[in-house]
Copies of this chain bind each other. A is one copy, B any other.
């Protein structure tokens, strides 16, 4: 069966996010002043061939840990559909 894994990789809470700060500046320049904080990460969609949702989850976790996320600076969440 085919599953779609939606992996969100975000910078860890305690870390500065300079890209987010730059985007917040850009929003303010456009007149959008009600945004207090911006954080920017990655969203990765994997199409996985697996026997079950659990197996797809294991493969997506493996991919995230080995390649997609850097655990020193990032955390990730996985959703399997």
A residues whose Cβ falls under 8 Å from a Cβ of B: 2, 8-10, 20, 23, 26-27, 30, 32, 34-50, 59, 62-63, 66-68
Contact = CB atoms under 8 A, between A and B. Distances in A.
Given A10-B43, A66-B30, A35 B48 contact: yes
A59 B9 CA distance: 24
A36 B37 CA distance: 36
Number of copies: 2
Contacts of A50: 34
What's the dominant secondary structure at chain A's contact region?
Answer: strand
Contact of A37 (B10, B27, B46, B63): B46
Given A27-B63, A30-B66, 12 more contacts: A10-B43, A20-B44, A27-B67, A32-B62, A34-B49, A35-B47, A35-B59, A35-B63, A38-B47, A39-B45, A40-B45, A41-B44
